[in-house]
Structure 1
Amino acid sequence: MSYHIVNIDSPRCSISCKHGQLTCTNKDGSRQQAPIEDIAAIVITSFSAQLHSHLLLEAAKHGVALVICERFQPISLLLPANRSTDTLLTKAALSLDKKKVDTLWRKTVDAKCANQASLAAEMAPNHPKIETLRKRAASKAPGKESTCARYYWGIYAESLHLENFKRGREEGGANDLLNFGYAVLLSLLLQKLFAYGLDPTLGISHEIRERSTPLAYDLMEPFRPCVDWRVARWLQEETGMGDYRVDGKFRRYVTDFTMERIGYLGIEMDFRNCLESVVRSFRQAVMTGQTRTYKPWTPPNSKWAG
């Protein structure tokens, strides 16, 4: 299959396919094109795009998936008949033995803890618990994810002067800002999973619940500190401390973290491309059964974007 994913977010654009070229025409008349045969999926986040029926036919003929989103959240997935189920990929995912699944999750947790330690050191380099957090993040101890989280959120709250802060989905305060950012991250990751044919219900750690997407919850873990950093800058630079409203201005601000440049495997790229590269590496690990091909994201050093 082709591996290019085309993201279309231009407002009031017209999307069609002519002479083998995916064509996006903007309201100002400008036009962008790409060969349909080189595309694996088209992700449409534009709130008012017009789709020509010929595009649907050509996409189906070339095995291209269409992911249609509302507020970044995928709400419709259009697949050609021969891609409605990726039999080999699903079989490979279900056939992974427990040791390999555990290895994939361990690599994910290691990356998450390393990223938390890196961000904590960026925010509070002289905090007395930084070195302890670094050692915990680099350890092989069981349960290190919860231990690192306890140190990390303590340092995070102190550096931002968040009194009585407790991380939790229903805890309110700064959690409301973090939760919105995580929702954006989850939506982007779901776009990539659908585009690469990965079933988000087949996770490696998170439990299966009704209408849940465990694999997306799993793979987003190392990227959570990107949201944490964006929220921290919002509180420090854009608004007064104690203002935790998830208003239009905040939503626009936090969503911009997806446009920042970050490093991955020695290459600088924008966040969305990095997310796509990680998903591709995970897919390869599942298909080949070789866990070493999975490369979760970690920053190349403690220098965070922005």
Structure 2
Amino acid sequence: MERIVDIATDGMHLSAYRGFLIVAKEREEVGRIALDDVHAVILHAHGCTWTGNVVAALAERGSPIVFCNTHHSPVAVTLPIAGFHAQGGRMRAQWDAGRPLAKQLWQRVVKAKIAMQGALLAFHGSPAAGAFDLIGRRVRSGDPDNLEAQAARRYWPALMGPAFRRDRDAAGANALLNYGYAVMRATVARAIVAAGLHPTIGIFHANRGNAFALADDLVEPFRPLVDALVVSLVGQGVDTLDPAIKRRFARLIAFDVRIGEEMSPVSVAAQRLAQSLARSFERSIPDLALFAPPARAGWETLTRALDPFEDA
């Protein structure tokens, strides 16, 4: 089973030995995990060190290392140079894709995100949920009306309360969101490289300083899954990250979502989305494998109350 490895203790040292990721403190081993089982490493502690061998071993397996700041927001990610066997051809198709195709792809991503937001609000019985179906149907190619932002302005107050402001540098719920998004971003970035695509070349995000623009594009429909868990945790009085809460976020990659008639874990859904994007570039047809919003039972599973014995 793939696992998220979180490094939150200062002064840790990461190395590779005989197929294992070794975590040590002051030269004493404190933990190990098979490298083949590592989905991603999230590092947001001070004074940590690592060997070149462990970075190379993780890269060979397509497992990113995500470096976060003190607010748990990603600031850097390592990914392998080589990915899919036909990487060169797919990257060329990605680079050569015209703006009309990119705009149509972005339209589908925004529609999927807004549908997820509306479904989560409906699950919570919010009166604002009804507007999201209409907003989603109004999204045009490239979202020139910026309906994604208009939906966000309705979404956050309805979900988190009128006093809430999304601030990547704030504590509390914002820090929880940052961490959850880091997990999802790593999952999507890994899937993008495995599909033979370049994470810098986005379909919408195009900041010159953003090396993971495409990951920021494709992660959008996954964000409401994080939002759902954060709302649940805040409702249970959780406003800081501890090992048990981080494990809750890590398990999001195993949450099942529906793509067509099939159920797939989020980690597989990210892979299918990235592969479908690669085929869209190759065929010049906007055909993305996007998952449907969870049914009520799915939201209930995702947001179930903390079990005091679950992570003991």
TM-score, normalised via structure 2 length: 0.70
2:232 counterpart of 1:233:
yes
Summarize the Cα distance change of 1:205–1:79 in structure 2 as closer, same or farther, 3 Å threshold: closer
Tell me, in whole angstroms, the C-alpha distance in 1 between the residues paired with 2:79 and 2:260.
Answer: 32
CA contact (8 A) 1:192 1:276 kept: yes
Summarize the Cα distance change of 1:303–1:103 in structure 2 as closer, same or farther, 3 Å threshold: farther
Partner residue in 1 for 2:186: 187
Tell me, in whole angstroms, the C-alpha distance in 1 between the residues paired with 2:239 and 2:259.
Answer: 32
Tell me, in whole angstroms, the C-alpha distance in 2 between the residues paired with 1:275 and 1:244.
Answer: 28
1:147-201 per-residue CA deviation (whole Å, 9 max, x = no partner) reads: 111111111013xxxx621113234431111011001111111111111211000
Match of 1:287 among 268, 282, 286: 282
CA contact (8 A) 1:112 1:223 kept: yes
CA contact (8 A) 1:65 1:78 kept: no
Partner residue in 2 for 1:77: 80
| Secondary structure, aligned partner of 2:264 | strand
Partner residue in 2 for 1:296: 290
Cα displacement (A) at 1:9: 7.2
Cα displacement (A) at 1:104: 0.4
2:153 counterpart of 1:154:
no
Question: Sequence identity, in percent?
Answer: 23
Tell me, in whole angstroms, the C-alpha distance in 1 between the residues paired with 2:186 and 2:103.
Answer: 25
Partner residue in 2 for 1:217: 216
CA RMSD of aligned residues (A): 3.8
| Secondary structure, aligned partner of 1:262 | strand
1:121-169 per-residue CA deviation (whole Å, 9 max, x = no partner) reads: 011x2x33222233222323622111111111111013xxxx6211132
Rg: which structure is higher?
A: 1
| Secondary structure, aligned partner of 2:62 | strand
Tell me, in whole angstroms, the C-alpha distance in 1 between the residues paired with 2:180 and 2:39.
Answer: 20
Partner residue in 2 for 1:139: 138
Partner residue in 2 for 1:107: 108
Q: Which runs of 5+ in 1 are unaligned?
A: 1-5, 17-26, 34-41, 57-63
1:20-49 per-residue CA deviation (whole Å, 9 max, x = no partner) reads: xxxxxxx99xx9x9xxxxxxxx9764899x
Task: Give the length in aligned residue pairs.
Answer: 260
Tell me, in whole angstroms, the C-alpha distance in 2 between the residues paired with 1:204 and 1:291.
Answer: 11
Tell me, in whole angstroms, the C-alpha distance in 2 between the residues paired with 1:101 and 1:184.
Answer: 25
Partner residue in 2 for 1:39: none
TM-score, normalised via structure 1 length: 0.72
Tell me, in whole angstroms, the C-alpha distance in 2 between the residues paired with 1:108 and 1:254.
Answer: 23
Amino acid corresponding to residue 78 of structure 2 in structure 1: I
Q: Which runs of 5+ in 2 are unaligned?
A: 6-15, 21-31, 43-49, 68-75, 302-312
CA contact (8 A) 2:40 2:186 kept: no
| Secondary structure, aligned partner of 1:206 | coil
Amino acid corresponding to residue 244 of structure 2 in structure 1: K
CA contact (8 A) 1:260 1:270 kept: yes
Tell me, in whole angstroms, the C-alpha distance in 2 between the residues paired with 1:109 and 1:70.
Answer: 27
Partner residue in 2 for 1:263: 258
